[in-house]
Amino acid sequence: MFRIVLAVAGLWVSSPAFAYLDPGTGSILLQSLIGILAIAAAAVGTFFGRIRAFLFSRKKTPDVAGEDGASRER
């Protein structure tokens, strides 16, 4: 009960904030959110791409034959 009385008293005593948010503020916030999501998606894609390349890539074996197809013997 005391918390409710304290909350109501806090609202009663509070002073008004003379602030104005124009319509462009919401647009900027939305663009920021979209940018953050795009960066996060790119980071996750790069991270999993590197893991996939590490796990599923085959190691290249040394080529016995030269580029022209002839074997190298010394």
Could you give the CA distance from residue 42 to residue 34 in angstroms, rounded to a whole number? 12
Residue 71: CB atoms within 10 Å: 7
Q: pLDDT for 11-64, tens place per residue?
A: 877 677 778 888 898 899 999 999 999 999 999 999 988 888 888 877 766 655
Higher per-residue confidence, 68 vs 5:
5
How far lies 10's CA from each of 1, 14, 17, in Å? 14, 6, 15
